[in-house]
Structure 1
Amino acid sequence: MTALAPTTSLAIAATAAMICTILIVALRPLLQRYALARPNARSSHVTPTPQGGGLAVIAATAIGAALTVLSGSTASGTSVLIVLAAAFCLAAVGMVDDLRPIPVLPRLTLQLAVVVVLFTALPPQIRFFEIIPVAIERALIVLGMLWFINLVNFMDGLDWMTVAEMVPMTVALGAIALLGEAPADILPIALGLAGALLGFAPFNRPVAKLFLGDVGSLPIGLLTGWCLLELASRQHLAAAILLPLYYLSDATITLFRRLVKGERFWDAHRSHFYQRATDNGFSVTQVVARVFLLNLGLAGLAMTTIAASSRSIDLTMLALGALGVAAVLFQFSQARVAQTGPR
């Protein structure tokens, strides 16, 4: 059970938000000069926009995590430090890719190396199926983490999209850890990242003045993926699936659809449901508002599974979550009918 008070948690998240804001203001002139994302046929923006805001987000997350550990959390500082170090390694890969795109194979190889080192450095505490040898289970976890890191990157293609997904998730993860229902190591990451993303949000609001870039989306994928694995290791698998269910569904369904069509799935594209929604007449704000509300609902369902601690409740909440996600995906895939009426 963590000893951290809720008021202290709010103060730490607010501090991370303020630090992120200060860093963005300081870094933005450099990003404007050296890290412009220029629009192309697959972009959702139409004017050159600086990217690299993830630098400030990850730095503020690390500071927030350090403050959490120092403020009375029972989290293992060593484990948190290892995970943050891996996140900074991925941020470095993302920064290079933002400035000068890395070919897909070297990029994936570097990401895989970081994930392998992470799980090699951490103790074998994350177990799901005791009958499976640890080595095989770790290999599956590494591949799953690699996919999660990249799907978070894939889904960061619209203003406020990552904020709409990750803020409800990280707040829920932090609340679960505060209640003692998840490993205490989750709390520093969740608090720091939630606060940092709130500090980033004003700069990314439609129409965005700043993008995260791969320097932000890749480590955010690693940090949240690690938190979800830790949550699942406490026999809360249903909650760990529900929290990222929209991202998992949109990215995975899109991947399989492209594979079936014989497309080069690693190439940039505009096939995700949220991207198709903007092509179908939804405004950016309408898309991210639906995603945010859906994620609030998924967080509520996840908290219900933890409170009930029942297999039947888990299955019921998973079914409700799947229905909610399916409804949003279906809505995004349909063209909006123009509204007419008296003027």
Structure 2
Amino acid sequence: MTLVPLLTVPLAALLSAGLILLLKPLLQRYALARPNARSSHRVPTPQGGGIAIIAAALFTVAVLAVPAGVAFKGAELPVLALAVLALATVGAVDDIRPLPASLRLVIQAGAVAAAVLAAEGRILPDAPLWLERAFAILAGLWFVNLVNFMDGLDWMTLAEFVPPTAFLFALGLAGRYAPEPTLVAGALLGGLLGFAPFNRPVARLFMGDVGSLPVGLIVAWLLFRLAGEGGAGTGGLAAALILPLYPLADATLTLLWRLRRGEAVWQAHRSHYYQVATLNGFSVPEVVGAVFAVQVALAGLAGATLLWPSPPVTLACLVLAAGLVGWLLRRFAAPRADRAGGKDR
């Protein structure tokens, strides 16, 4: 790769921040997020910052692709861009006027299926292609929704996905990741960083579904490509599992517990571990800081599986990752002895 990719992060960050400054008056007028059963905020706050994140990321990829030496081979990147735009559109409409859950799910499934079917590479070459793709579509659909579910505190999505995207971008600069996903990872990282100052606690702007849904799809695609990288072996698949392990574990375990209790899982709630933590005495900066630190550590473990792709190292990294995430979830679930009743953002 040339030196052009180094421009990816700053360009996307500047575009994201600039678009937010331009759009914020409109978002303040038409896209206020009012507190509900899922909210951790008490004051109506504009949402829709994801418009800037996604627009900046897509524009950066389009502008830098050719100078960076990224060849548009096949339909993979164009299909991904269209799928991202479809989810952003659905999210934007839903932010202003909630859509039926069934309609959202159908459109999400179509967008994820399009991105998966157009993607290059194989995760499990020995398995039938149709079975691998079907599993990838289901996993991608869940990932898109869990990213949306986990966007419930100021800076939470940034704490979860800045470390993985930074890791993937650095991996690509080192020549260990394909140029196409490297450019996409850098563009998304820049878009998130440009949004960060506006979302820091106490947030003046939320991402909204217009951002969380397409961010989920982009990250899912990046992980799919990592898992299927040629020559990565089991290390690539293990790294793809480790990188998003905190949000994956929090959302999945919460869903299972709610199903076990017979709750309507499609309704708004505040049962996620990171939300319970604020009720157990942790401040918002403490929660997102802990998640960020764990995600950085997970990126280190993911890197180890790629540097030393042997079964013992891979297994050890997976066990350490699971233990680290389990420790954090347990910590969030237990009330703090020195503080009672957390503060809302």
Q: What's the TM-score once normalised by structure 2's chain length?
A: 0.93
Counterpart of 1:47 (choices 37, 43, 51) is: 43
1:193-221 deviations in whole A, cap 9, x for unaligned? Answer: 00110000000000000000000000000
1:305 aligned residue: 305
1:82-104 deviations in whole A, cap 9, x for unaligned? Answer: 21221011000101111111111
1:151-202 deviations in whole A, cap 9, x for unaligned? Answer: 0000001000001111111011111222222222211210100011000000
Against the structure 1 CA distance between its residues 176 and 76, is the aligned structure 2 distance closer, same or farther, given a 3 Å change threshold? Answer: farther
1:199 correspondence with 2:199: no
Residue 130 of structure 1 and its aligned partner are, at CA, apart by: 2.9
Q: Aligned equivalents of 1:96 and 1:17: distance in 2?
A: 25
**How many pairs align?**
334
Q: Aligned equivalents of 1:113 and 1:64: distance in 2?
A: 25
Letter in 2 for 1:60: A
Letter in 2 for 1:280: N
Q: In the alignment, is the contact (CA less than 8 A) between 2:80 and 2:114 conserved in 1?
A: no
1:63-112 deviations in whole A, cap 9, x for unaligned? Answer: 22123313323353652222122101100010111111111111101111
Q: Aligned equivalents of 1:229 and 1:222: distance in 2?
A: 10
Q: In the alignment, is the contact (CA less than 8 A) between 2:155 and 2:199 conserved in 1?
A: yes
Q: Aligned equivalents of 2:65 and 2:196: distance in 1?
A: 25
Q: Aligned equivalents of 2:71 and 2:157: distance in 1?
A: 26
1:76 correspondence with 2:58: no
1:225-280 deviations in whole A, cap 9, x for unaligned? Answer: 00000000123011101110001100111011011111111111101000000011
Structure 2: any 5+ residue segments left out of the alignment? 341-345
Q: Aligned equivalents of 1:108 and 1:339: distance in 2?
A: 40
Letter in 2 for 1:269: H
Counterpart of 1:107 (choices 104, 107, 117) is: 104
Q: In the alignment, is the contact (CA less than 8 A) between 1:80 and 1:189 conserved in 2?
A: no
Q: In the alignment, is the contact (CA less than 8 A) between 1:75 and 1:187 conserved in 2?
A: no
Q: Aligned equivalents of 2:208 and 2:93: distance in 1?
A: 10
Q: Mapping of 1:1-343 within 5 angstroms?
A: 3-5=1-3, 8-76=4-72, 78-120=75-117, 122=118, 125-234=120-229, 235=233, 236-338=236-338
Q: Aligned equivalents of 2:72 and 2:169: distance in 1?
A: 15
Q: What's the TM-score once normalised by structure 1's chain length?
A: 0.94
Q: Aligned equivalents of 1:73 and 1:326: distance in 2?
A: 41
Q: Aligned equivalents of 1:231 and 1:40: distance in 2?
A: 37
Letter in 1 for 2:89: A
Q: Aligned equivalents of 2:323 and 2:69: distance in 1?
A: 37
Q: Aligned equivalents of 1:46 and 1:161: distance in 2?
A: 17
Q: CA RMSD in A?
A: 1.5
Q: In the alignment, is the contact (CA less than 8 A) between 1:174 and 1:187 conserved in 2?
A: yes
Q: In the alignment, is the contact (CA less than 8 A) between 2:91 and 2:209 conserved in 1?
A: yes
Identical-residue share of aligned pairs (%): 49
1:128-154 deviations in whole A, cap 9, x for unaligned? Answer: 223332122211111110000000000
Residue 11 of structure 1 and its aligned partner are, at CA, apart by: 2.5
Query: 2:157 is paired with a residue of what secondary structure?
Result: helix
Letter in 2 for 1:74: V
Q: In the alignment, is the contact (CA less than 8 A) between 1:64 and 1:191 conserved in 2?
A: no
